[in-house]
Structure 1
Amino acid sequence: MSDEELIETPQRTVITTVDDFHDAVELIALGSGPVAVDAERASGFRYSQRAYLIQLYRRGAGTFLFDPPAIGEFAPLQSVIGDVEWVLHAASQDLPCLREVGLDPERVFDTELAARLLGIPRVGLGTVVEELLGIHLAKEHSAADWSTRPLPPSWLEYAALDVELLLDLRDSMAVLLKQQGKERIAVQEFAAVVAKEEKAPLAEPWRRLTGIHALRADRHLAAARELWLARDALARETDTAPGRLVPDASLLVAAKALPASRRELAALKQFSGRASRSELDRWWAAIERALTTDDIPVHRRPTDTLPPPRSWSDKNPDADARLKNARAALAVVSEEQNIPVENLLTPDFLRRVTWNPPEPLTVETVSESLRSLGARPWQIELTAQPILQAFVDARQPPESAPEADS
């Protein structure tokens, strides 16, 4: 697609009626080849992560911009495109909101992931499009509030271009993957994106409150929990991003101060945010619950999270030696394969097999450990032997220093 073609692109309109939606589905069915798909959310503005715009492009059919809240049911579109390849950029970000409306691919081509496998240093869509297609793609609306209605024409142009370039980008990347001998790797990675299960909700999501580790007293921790829960309920009710109501820092200020009255809470200047005073009764009720509850949260929860690697030298010196050796070994493989080390093997997988290495220590047992954690076959093929050798080397006593001349 040339710059001239982009300049001549007609005005885009959003499909908002069921009749227009069915007409669009018929046109899409007449197209050929993969479909390019993208979705726009309102992260940072709304509580939900729903899609407020879904863009689709297919050769022989054209570009379509759908309004999910207005259309509601996307089953007719799913029946037409469900079994063809979907091309997305950073598919894992969009798949949850697409699945929410009933759109779920059988196979994908992820252009961001492909860029990583190709060793492209910067993998943002605009950067990759410019590098491989020679087209400058402005990204000034990427953080916009896509729940806005009506959507400005410049936003729609931006949204349409995101998908209209994806198929050309996919074709260019497919050639490069073949040239680098990474077709099989890409197939496995793309399949893993589709198969990946969504994370289960956290049992205590309030513990992710920024800065909560600074609270030491039990009542303060209870106040942080109750304030977070009160804010989350309001955010859900109003479909507003929680931080836009009261920032995390303000909740921590109130939890740490633990005011003894509503008046004291209102007097806290650092307790700010657009809902900090309009919903003062809500926040004070939360603090009252924290002051009177017998349900005091514990500071440390049982978890299978490993200690941070910086503490391994004290907690588990043998594991620390293995990890340092293994990281160095995988850095060499990463350089040889021109694949980022974090894509070569998920860092958490490496840490876990390093902390608890299999016994007996063989390439087969290391491979099985990686497989059980979720590593793909190509990752195991490239990393199991280097990891094994790194572990073996870590067991060797350091060479004695040469004696000084007398």
Structure 2
Amino acid sequence: MTDAQETAADSSLRTTGGAPPDDVETAPIPLLEPRDGIPPVIADEESLAEVIAAFAAGTGPVAVDAERASGYRYGQRAYLVQLRREGAGSALIDPVGCPDLSGLGAAIADAEWVLHAATQDLPCLREIGMIPTRIFDTELAGRLAGFPRVGLGAMVESVLGYVLEKGHSAVDWSTRPLPEPWLRYAALDVELLVDLRDALEKELDRQGKLGWALEEFDAIASAPPAPPRKDPWRRTSGMHKVRRRRQMAVVRELWNARDRIAQRRDVSPGKVLSDSAIVEAALALPANAHALSALNGYGHRMGRRQLEQWQAAIDRAKALPDVELPQPGQQLAGPPPPRSWADRDPAAAARLSAARAAVSALAETLNMPQENLITPDTVRRLCWEPPAQVSADAVASALSGYGARAWQVEQVTPVLVTALSATATA
């Protein structure tokens, strides 16, 4: 950032909370270089110790970001961690060379961590020992404040008046050494994150939503790690085409075989075998490797050995006794899909229709997405099994039991009581 750009940013933030005055047409300024230059990549314990000391001595919130290699490597591990803090500057840390960042996490544990779309980065940060106690999520803040576009680039441009170059967001961050343009991009991602946080805090406060945002941030920071997904093979793209249990067993066997290979090779499962190829084989139930080779996804580029390993998985599924075949659908912990409500329980369908309309209208009034006002699953659960006596206390208690935050309960309880009461007397 040039001196002129820095002065412009400081002035804009001081006078307007990050946005230019309404009567001034200001063209966004491209942000091309970190103000302190591209920091060196930290990949050894000695350099990491220096960064830890610097960030421990810094002041104020800590901007934190992580880059993964989604679509290239197995899993969602971090391949670069970026931080910035007043008094410490910016740091780029290589978790491959420094796989244990618990010391850094402890050094900044008492600070507020500023992240964009925190739920995406927190799992991979947790794996390397970085666990915050307080966060500020600029993406979620943007949603609650009613911004129509909440990607980091869009937020920085609309709130601070700068344009971030986003061309490297989907590259293979496991590449070593990382190219300089990628490192520049990574450093710029945390360059203005604290400035964005400060401007959004002012905007949320102006709208009377700051307390709501803080509740949301606390819920994210205190949430336990998500448990492993049950039957992940059921999420194979195109699974809706697979109707018969024997075919489902083929999907399961191929998915599990692919996952083992991908984990062993440390590559994205989609690079081993595509979802569409799995579904193709499940529907066709080929008799042998030759028949398999004629299907889409198993063409001439696939060697005989690979074809045989996939055919072996198919044959295992075909040989299973009926009692070991998967059931047609997952056991649902909550209500059935809403599309079936009209037939199964017309009264519940009427409740859901009224509740959805009420929540939609309230969300529009509050200028935020419906799913941030209250999750659709919570509304479905309430409408499928409403309290015996519809009252504000009963509805509020049910919402809290489903995990709604206090501010959500306060906002939606009146409109949901009205909706449920109206359908009960209709």
Q: TM-score range by the shorter chain?
A: over 0.9
Q: 1:61/1:355 Cα in 2 relative to 1: closer, same or farther (>3 Å)?
A: same
Residue 265 (1) aligns with residue 279 (2): no
Residues 121-130 or 303-312, more deviating: 303-312
Equivalent residue for 1:167, pick from 184, 194, 197: 194
In 2, distance between residues paired with 1:315 and 1:276?
A: 50
Q: 1:32/1:269 Cα in 2 relative to 1: closer, same or farther (>3 Å)?
A: closer
SS in 1 for 2:63: strand
| Residues 36 and 87, structure 1, Cα contact 8 Å, conserved in 2 | yes
What residue is the counterpart of 1:403 in the other structure?
Answer: none
What residue is the counterpart of 2:178 in the other structure?
Answer: 151
Equivalent residue for 1:42, pick from 39, 46, 69: 69
Equivalent residue for 1:213, pick from 228, 240, 257: 240
Residue 319 (1) aligns with residue 348 (2): yes
SS in 1 for 2:187: helix
Equivalent residue for 1:236, pick from 263, 279, 293: 263
In 2, distance between residues paired with 1:173 and 1:158?
A: 23
Give the alignment of 1:6-405 within 5 angstroms: 7=33, 9-272=36-299, 279-294=306-321, 295-397=324-426
Q: Which runs of 5+ in 2 are unaligned?
A: 7-30
| Residues 281 and 295, structure 2, Cα contact 8 Å, conserved in 1 | yes
Residues 87-96 or 318-327, more deviating: 318-327
| Cα deviation, residue 274, structure 1 | 6.8
| Residues 334 and 381, structure 2, Cα contact 8 Å, conserved in 1 | no
TM-score by length of 1: 0.93
| Cα deviation, residue 301, structure 1 | 3.5
Summarize deviations over 1:362-401 as a string: whole Å, max 9, x none.
110100100000000000001111101101111233xxxx
| Residues 36 and 89, structure 2, Cα contact 8 Å, conserved in 1 | no
In 2, distance between residues paired with 1:273 and 1:92?
A: 41
* AA at the equivalent of 2:225: E
* AA at the equivalent of 2:285: L
Q: 1:273/1:218 Cα in 2 relative to 1: closer, same or farther (>3 Å)?
A: farther
Summarize deviations over 1:175-227 as a string: whole Å, max 9, x none.
11111111211110100111223332123211111222322333222211111
| Residues 108 and 190, structure 1, Cα contact 8 Å, conserved in 2 | yes
In 1, distance between residues paired with 2:71 and 2:215?
A: 33
In 2, distance between residues paired with 1:150 and 1:208?
A: 35
* AA at the equivalent of 1:41: R
In 2, distance between residues paired with 1:276 and 1:212?
A: 26
In 2, distance between residues paired with 1:183 and 1:64?
A: 29
In 1, distance between residues paired with 2:302 and 2:394?
A: 55
Moved over 6 A (4+): none
In 2, distance between residues paired with 1:148 and 1:76?
A: 25
* AA at the equivalent of 1:95: L
In 2, distance between residues paired with 1:170 and 1:284?
A: 53
Q: 1:215/1:337 Cα in 2 relative to 1: closer, same or farther (>3 Å)?
A: closer
* AA at the equivalent of 2:94: D
In 2, distance between residues paired with 1:52 and 1:164?
A: 19
| Cα deviation, residue 254, structure 1 | 1.3
Q: Which runs of 5+ in 1 are unaligned?
A: 398-406
